[in-house]
Chains A and B, each alone.
Chain A
């Protein structure tokens, strides 16, 4: 083994998730994954609600789900997951194009994703659910 490889092996490593402090872009990234998995797992629920809303008498039932506080909370969560995934996705597309890849810009855009997706959740969720 070369000296360089030896040195590399001895470098301190911390892979303990409970002590790692993720920077803001890291948080946006993991939330992108979590929101994606959440949306994937909820696909049957989303399809069922969509189907229901389009069948005879089903529209009123879905309206009742929307009026229910728990239903409202679940749908608001799904809307946030969609919008966070949407906004973080656009950020990743821009990074793919090498736009905003320096650290200060990347931190700023990560904060922007969190703020914009929450604001849109309030606006769109408020319009659709209330």
Chain B
């Protein structure tokens, strides 16, 4: 059967973004665990040293952004599955976006305060 794919492909973009952010986070998880194993941060200075490093700061921020984008897609799916009234659903979408953008600002403050 030949199917004509129509529309703006937002769904496909989101689907790919969910997986791409997942892969980025999986790679970061390994980097983080290796960093912890190598540094063995038993003191505050050693722990801070991990994230003060330019490369780690960059990839940690990338991890957080991936996390928040990934969380947006997942929680959006949750609202779409369970919340049927349009008004309530829309409000929850807006609230979720607002909270996640706030977290992104928070994460950047944490990392660049080092």
Binding site for B on A (CB under 8 A): 33, 36-37, 39-40, 43-44, 47, 50-51, 53-54, 56, 58-60, 86, 89-90, 93, 96, 124, 128
Interface of A is mostly: helix
Q: How large is the interface on B (under 10, 10 to 19, 20 to 34, 35 or more residues)?
A: 20 to 34
Q: Which residues of A contact B26 (CB under 8 A)?
A: 86, 89-90
Most A Cβ at <10 Å: residue of B36, B48, B51: B48
Q: Cβ of B106 < 8 Å from any Cβ of A? A: yes
Q: Which residues of B contact A58 (CB under 8 A)?
A: 44
Give B73-98 interface residues, CB cut-off 8 Å to A: 74-75, 78
Q: Which residues of B contact A39 (CB under 8 A)?
A: 71
Q: Cβ of B107 < 8 Å from any Cβ of A? A: yes
Q: Cβ of B58 < 8 Å from any Cβ of A? A: no
Q: Output the least CB separation between B100 and chain A (Å).
A: 8
Contact B43 A59 (CB under 8 A): yes
Q: Output the least CB separation between B57 and chain A (Å).
A: 11
Contact B110 A36 (CB under 8 A): no
Q: Cβ of B6 < 8 Å from any Cβ of A? A: no
Q: Output the least CB separation between A93 and chain B (Å).
A: 6
Q: Which residues of A contact B113 (CB under 8 A)?
A: 54
Q: Which residues of A contact B36 (CB under 8 A)?
A: 128
Q: A43-B103, A86-B26 are in contact. Are A53 and B47 (CB under 8 A)?
A: yes
Give B1-45 interface residues, CB cut-off 8 Å to A: 19, 22-23, 26, 29, 33, 36, 43-44
Q: Which residues of B contact A60 (CB under 8 A)?
A: 44
- What is the CA–CA distance of A124 and B29 in the complex, to the nearest angstrom? 12
Considering the complex, give the chain B residue whose CB is closest to the CB of A96: B19
Contact B106 A47 (CB under 8 A): yes
Contact B22 A93 (CB under 8 A): yes
Contact A93 B78 (CB under 8 A): no
Q: Which residues of A contact B78 (CB under 8 A)?
A: 33, 37
Contact A93 B19 (CB under 8 A): yes
Contact A54 B19 (CB under 8 A): no
Q: Provide a sorted-by-A list of 12 A–B residue pairs whose CB atoms are within 8 angstroms.
A: A33-B74, A36-B71, A36-B74, A37-B74, A40-B75, A44-B103, A51-B110, A56-B44, A59-B44, A86-B26, A90-B26, A93-B22
